[in-house]
Structure 1
Amino acid sequence: MHFAYPSRKSSNPPPFRPRQSRIPIPTLRKGRLKSIAVIATIIIGSFWIISKLFDSRDAPLFRRPSGNPPVVLVTVLDERKHGMGHSQSIRENREQYAKRHGYETMFVHAGDYELEETAGSWARTPAMRHALTNFPECRYVWFLDQDAYIMEPAKSLEERLLEPDLLGKIMRRDISVVPNSIIKTFSHLKGGDIELVLTQDFEGLSTGSLVVRNGEWAKFFLETWFDPLYRSYKFRKAEEHALEHMVQWHPTILSKLAVVPQRTINSYIKGNEEEGFQEGDFVVRAAGCGREGAPSCEEQLSKYRATWQQAFSQA
């Protein structure tokens, strides 16, 4: 039996020819050009963003509102707890001051917002966020609790507090944000850096009279403050203790905070020389009024009602 041998290879093989790519050359070029274009776009975009961040001559990335109105004065009312007469006097007080300085007022009710099982005092937080929605061009939101009267109408809030040079002079630097805390207000901040202004009392931060500057930071701050996680903690002083927690643990908030002397915007009816109301003070508050066992807000503020009305009629 004969078996076929494999054919012998020729000693003169054909010349080498490279294997052709399955992908046409024009397609490869097109893909590479596309990749280069994407990379170039990313690089150029990165340089543009960096230049905007570090070039102070350009406009900020987030537009500042026009300032119309300059200030929205927000108050949460609870007629069932404090009575219609008291609520009406609070409305008149705010409206007269706002009209005098070209501001707007916004009155809401404690039951306007879904607070679930948390304290009614939490309503101030969505109320301020609501004000930013209703008045997107305002420059500031001033929350003033229903336990307070504005006593001196002549000067605007800007003249008393918010002008950057003035705020830079009166804001308290390098002090504990709450008693005995190692976390302190920053010492290098200037008045123009500030987005949130409030005061302290002998227990800690006070939220009965505070000012927030409208902008992206204000929205972030108010949404963070109203986070369900903080409300679920059941802090003893509800939103005030939640704010103290935020300020001590979040530099993003502490770096925009100014603590001013209490009598600037938050004098108490009862208190020592630093916090107690004195003739000529801007605001008087009956902090804690209406709580269980305490006199009503209307009762505690009754002697100041005629005083502010007279001051407004003469200014």
Structure 2
Amino acid sequence: MQFAVPPRRSPLPIARSSRMPIYRRKQFKSIAVLAFAIFSLLFIVHHIYSLGSPSLTAAVPSGVVIVTLLDRQRLSESYVKKIVTNREDYAKRHGKAFLSHLIYIRVESNRRTRTGYTNFFASVADYADAIGDAPRTWAIAPAVRHAMAKYPQSAYFFHLSPHSLIMNPTKSLNSHILEKNKLEELVMKDASIVPPDSIIKTFAHQNEKDIEFIITQDTEDLNPGSFILKSGEFARFFLDMWFDPLYRSYNFAKAETHGLDHILQWHPTVLARTALVPQRSISSYSKDSLRASPEGTYKDGDLVIQFRGCEEVEGRDCERELEPYYKIWLGIPQRD
């Protein structure tokens, strides 16, 4: 008896086993490539949109941090409260006002920043171990460095002496100083670093894009009571240099002020990134301040008034000098 045996070579099954898997693999490959392309396109569109979206940038830390160093062992609670109130009012005004101004949103080194404002109130006592036996005023450098560590995505750090008041809260640092055209207008070129006739001068040709440190001067020295420092590698390098133990060991007559004078005169790397601006632009002196000049004394409308030396000179009282200007800032009418 014979049985029907299927042929050893059946063309139909072989055709299905060889062609169909290849076809399916090609389909899967095409689908995978298309899905990857769509995903990539969506990622790029989302990334571009997020850079310009105020709802997303609003979550980024403030663009300007106001650093105020308080010596709470020497300042009364009422005095500290006035300084804090003054700074917080300014930050609140401009922290909200600029959220909708996308023109000020910038992208630097792939970081998103906005021009919101916030405060960092430091205490001299927190840096006592680092300062050692040097004068307490050296705490400015580690205080600003501390602020940079706390707000690493912020664009600028504005150090302001505790013996000063922001008198014109309508002026933002952006419109008053930091905008390109404004800064180029204010920069003092070919000017003596240490007045009146230091042979070391600011560069005659300096581009706005190279400026990362903005400061002013009085009739004798640079004025570290008010300066603006742009966040970045230079800022960290500069602060570390300024606070170097070697400079603190020199026993400069004016401590950190003379240390700063020295650095800018003998280190062109720092000078090349520094802009000197007129005193009244960021730190007008009160009429009783040390080294007050007609060009640098406070006038109505100036951004800041500083009571330079009020804590140093016998017979002066910082709180008494601040009080009438604080009332003006509050809008309280003054008697003649």
TM-score between the two structures when normalised by the length of structure 2? 0.71
Distance in structure 2 (CA, Å) of the matches to 1:181 and 1:67:
43
Aligned partner of 2:66 in structure 1 is: 73
Asked if 1 retains the 8 angstrom alpha-carbon contact of 2:171 and 2:303, the reply is no
Q: CA deviation at 1:248?
A: 0.7
Partner amino acid, structure 2, of 1:172: M
Q: Do structure 1's residue 87 and structure 2's residue 103 form an aligned pair?
A: no
Question: After the TM superposition, which of the residue ranges 298-307 and 133-142 deviates more from structure 2?
Answer: 298-307
Aligned partner of 2:100 in structure 1 is: none
Distance in structure 2 (CA, Å) of the matches to 1:67 and 1:166:
26
Aligned pairs for 1:94-105 within 5 A: 94-102=87-95, 103-105=117-119
Q: CA deviation at 1:68?
A: 3.3
Deviations 1:15-55 (A, max 9, x none): xxxxxxxxxxxxxxxxxxxxxxxxxxxxxxxxxxxxxxxxx
Aligned partner of 2:307 in structure 1 is: 286
Aligned partner of 1:110 in structure 2 is: 124
Distance in structure 1 (CA, Å) of the matches to 2:126 and 2:231:
22
Asked if 2 retains the 8 angstrom alpha-carbon contact of 1:82 and 1:290, the reply is no
Which of 193, 207, 230 is the matching residue for 2:224? 207
Which of 141, 150, 168 is the matching residue for 2:184? 168
Distance in structure 1 (CA, Å) of the matches to 2:313 and 2:138:
18
Distance in structure 1 (CA, Å) of the matches to 2:82 and 2:234:
33
Q: CA deviation at 1:310?
A: 2.1
Which of 163, 166, 172 is the matching residue for 1:156? 172
Distance in structure 1 (CA, Å) of the matches to 2:315 and 2:206:
39
Which of 301, 310, 314 is the matching residue for 2:331? 310
Distance in structure 1 (CA, Å) of the matches to 2:275 and 2:65:
19
TM-score between the two structures when normalised by the length of structure 1? 0.76
Partner amino acid, structure 2, of 1:92: T
Which of 127, 149, 158 is the matching residue for 1:133? 149
Aligned pairs for 1:162-201 within 5 A: 162-179=178-195, 180-201=197-218
Task: Structure 1 unaligned segments of length 5 or more: list them.
Answer: 1-65
Alignment size in residue pairs: 246
Deviations 1:112-154 (A, max 9, x none): 1021011111111100000100000000000000000000111
CA RMSD of aligned residues (A): 1.4
* DSSP-derived class of the 2:229 partner: strand
Distance in structure 1 (CA, Å) of the matches to 2:208 and 2:170:
23
Partner amino acid, structure 1, of 2:189: R
Q: CA deviation at 1:273?
A: 2.4
Which of 240, 249, 260 is the matching residue for 2:266? 249
* DSSP-derived class of the 1:305 partner: helix
Distance in structure 1 (CA, Å) of the matches to 2:68 and 2:326:
17
Distance in structure 2 (CA, Å) of the matches to 1:162 and 1:190:
13
Distance in structure 1 (CA, Å) of the matches to 2:132 and 2:313:
21
Distance in structure 1 (CA, Å) of the matches to 2:61 and 2:126:
25
Distance in structure 2 (CA, Å) of the matches to 1:183 and 1:281:
29
Which of 260, 266, 276 is the matching residue for 2:297? 276
Deviations 1:183-212 (A, max 9, x none): 100011022210000101011101000000
Q: After the TM superposition, which segments of 4 or more aligned residues of structure 1 sit over 3 Å from their partners?
A: none
Partner amino acid, structure 2, of 1:138: S
Aligned partner of 1:297 in structure 2 is: 318
* DSSP-derived class of the 1:208 partner: strand
Determine what percentage of the aligned residue pairs are the same residue. Answer: 44
Partner amino acid, structure 2, of 1:151: M
* DSSP-derived class of the 1:82 partner: coil
Distance in structure 2 (CA, Å) of the matches to 1:254 and 1:241:
15
Deviations 1:35-85 (A, max 9, x none): xxxxxxxxxxxxxxxxxxxxxxxxxxxxxxx97311000011123222111
Asked if 2 retains the 8 angstrom alpha-carbon contact of 1:267 and 1:283, the reply is yes
Asked if 2 retains the 8 angstrom alpha-carbon contact of 1:145 and 1:209, the reply is yes
Q: CA deviation at 1:292?
A: 4.7
